[in-house]
């Protein structure tokens, strides 16, 4: 009877450890999903800003070339 009680305590400890591991995995998956979403949003924002910056630089170059032509002709 004593051994059965000791085994029961041991099994309860193991079960608690497994439950904690499952919770950790659940939190990890949740955190990973949040990271993916945030990273994707930041990447998209940075990509759009980069494209806009390149477009504005191209427009500035075109305006400067027009001014250069006007000054040299």
Taking only the tens place, the pLDDT of each residue in 56-72 is 999 999 999 999 999 99
For the chain, what is the domain count?
1
> What does the alpha-carbon distance between residue 14 and residue 31 come to, in Å, rounded to a whole number?
26
Q: Supply the pTM of this predicted model.
A: 0.55
Tokens linked to 52: 């806009």
Domain that holds residue 37: 1-72
Q: How confident is the model at residue 33 (pLDDT cuts 50, 70, 90)?
A: very high
- Look at residue 4 and tell me whether its pLDDT is greater than 90: no
Report pLDDT for 28.
Answer: 86
> What does the alpha-carbon distance between residue 2 and residue 52 come to, in Å, rounded to a whole number?
75
Helix segments in the chain, DSSP class H: 2-72
Percent of the chain exceeding pLDDT 90 equals 58
């Amino acid at each position: 009877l004593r051994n059965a009680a000791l085994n029961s305590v041991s099994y309860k400890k193991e079960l608690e450890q497994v439950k904690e591991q499952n919770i950790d995995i659940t939190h990890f998956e949740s955190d990973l999903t949040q990271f993916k979403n945030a990273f994707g949003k930041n990447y998209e924002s940075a990509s759009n800003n980069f494209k806009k910056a390149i477009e504005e630089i191209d427009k500035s170059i075109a305006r400067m070339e027009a001014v250069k032509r006007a000054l040299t002709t």
